[in-house]
Chain A
Amino acid sequence: MNRPDDELDNLLRSHLSSELDAERGAARRAFEQQVTRPMQRQLRRRSWQAHVAQFRHWGAIGLAMAACMTVGAFLPSILGLQTRATPAPTEVAQSQAIGSGPVVTPQFADLERTTVFHHTDAGAVLLDGGVPGRKVLQQRYDTLRYTDPSTHERLEYVIPSQQDLFYPVNRQ
């Protein structure tokens, strides 16, 4: 390349640089201002709403359990049934000796079991190999209920668990 070519190259480079360098970065700033920040605010709001919903959900389960136990405890007296005091070990031994009645033991056949799933879309992700997919939060609630046939007391256990599931998105 000869000298006039070099001069022309330098002239054009410095002219274009002085013209356009000042504009660099403006597009990204505009994008962040108009898209990224509103999206982040929306995500934070959604996260907070999810927390509130979760609190309400667990609160409702707790209240339901407390209500069941309370009703179970007071149901016999409400219905006018006579509750039997728990016998002392010596009394049990005596009663068994004279054969006055059987000792009630819980039967597993009385167990009632239910499983409930909740699925929440947790957004877009890239799976292995760059395949686009979605992440789904799976919440599982296993509930075990037992009603004591002699006292009609109800016991309820809720076992919560959760896991993340990933599904590829078929865009065809």
Chain B
Amino acid sequence: MNISSVEQLVLRAKLHDADAFAELIQRYEGIALSIAYAHTRNRADAGDLVQDAFLRAWTRLDSLDDPSRFGHWLGRMVRNLAIDLRRRKRPGPMDMSIDVADDVDEVSPIERREQKQQIDRALGSLDELSRSCIVLRYYENLSSKEISELLDLSPAAVDMRLSRARNQLKQRLQPVMEEDDL
């Protein structure tokens, strides 16, 4: 990611350049979605939360002192909104919807739903910070250094969390992976 151009976009956005901010949304939407999903574990809530976070970021850009820390600043905003949402919302059933396009292969909808539930449960067994590391790594392909900057951790701490989380997920998802092999 080109840091200097992100800084320029932030400076332009601070001067109320909406196009520059739209470009920032384009660049950071995946990261924001990853953090939101890691906290809410519900894609619809994550989507709504990211929209709110960007609108809030637009109105509060003046409080961002260092433009190069936009990602970190946005990530913190997403986490705070997720905490607010959790306080407001009582825990309900997880999003079990299945995309129609998912059902075109040989796996039946029931099997797919079971598989999805198992992965959801496995991800749910992780703590929020480790889950954030996993989602940012596997959905956004971020390096440990990039994840560490977003989550206020050291790169070594990110590596450690990723390693432990992967071992935990491997154990929990062993049956799913074996089913896939059959």
- What CA separation (Å) do A132 and B15 show in the bound complex? 8
Q: Identify the closest chain B residue to A30 (Cβ).
A: B51
Chain A residues at the B interface, C-beta cutoff of 8 Å:
4-5, 7-9, 11-13, 15-20, 22-28, 30-32, 34-36, 39, 124-126, 130, 132, 169
A20-B46, A23-B33 known; A11 vs B18 contact (CB < 8 Å) = no
**Complex contact B139–A28 (CB within 8 A):** no
Query: Can you list 8 residue pairs at the A/B interface with Cβ under 8 Å?
Result: A4-B177, A5-B170, A8-B173, A17-B139, A20-B33, A26-B47, A27-B25, A27-B50
Question: Is B8 close to A, CB under 8 A?
Answer: yes
Question: Is B70 close to A, CB under 8 A?
Answer: no
- What CA separation (Å) do A13 and B138 show in the bound complex? 5
A4-B177, A32-B22 known; A130 vs B54 contact (CB < 8 Å) = no
Question: Is B150 close to A, CB under 8 A?
Answer: no
Q: Please give the number of chain B residues whose Cβ is less than 8 angstroms from any Cβ of chain A in the complex.
A: 46
A11-B177, A30-B51, A31-B21 known; A19 vs B11 contact (CB < 8 Å) = no
Kindly list chain B residues whose C-beta atoms are within 8 Å of the C-beta of A17: 139
Chain B residues at the A interface, C-beta cutoff of 8 Å:
7-8, 11-12, 14-19, 21-22, 25-26, 29-30, 32-34, 37, 43-44, 46-47, 50-51, 53-55, 58, 99, 102, 116, 119, 134-135, 138-139, 166, 169-170, 173, 176-177, 180-181
- What CA separation (Å) do A169 and B7 show in the bound complex? 16
**Complex contact B8–A130 (CB within 8 A):** yes
Most B-side CB within 10 Å, residue of A13, A20, A27: A27
Choose among B21, B51, B119, B134 the residue that contacts A26 (Cβ–Cβ < 8 A).
B51
**Complex contact B25–A16 (CB within 8 A):** no
CB distance from A121 to the nearest CB of B (A): 12
**Complex contact B180–A7 (CB within 8 A):** yes
Q: Identify the closest chain A residue to B166 (Cβ).
A: A8
CB distance from B82 to the nearest CB of A (A): 14
**Complex contact A126–B11 (CB within 8 A):** yes
Most A-side CB within 10 Å, residue of B26, B32, B51: B51
Q: Identify the closest chain A residue to B102 (Cβ).
A: A18
Kindly list chain B residues whose C-beta atoms are within 8 Å of the C-beta of A34: 55
Please name 18 further chain A to chain B contacts, defined as beta carbons within 8 Å, in addition to the given A15-B119, A31-B55, sorted by A numbering: A4-B170, A8-B166, A8-B177, A12-B119, A13-B138, A15-B116, A16-B135, A16-B138, A22-B47, A24-B29, A24-B33, A31-B51, A31-B58, A36-B18, A124-B16, A126-B8, A126-B15, A132-B12
Kindly list chain A residues whose C-beta atoms are within 8 Å of the C-beta of B21: 31, 35
**Complex contact B22–A11 (CB within 8 A):** no
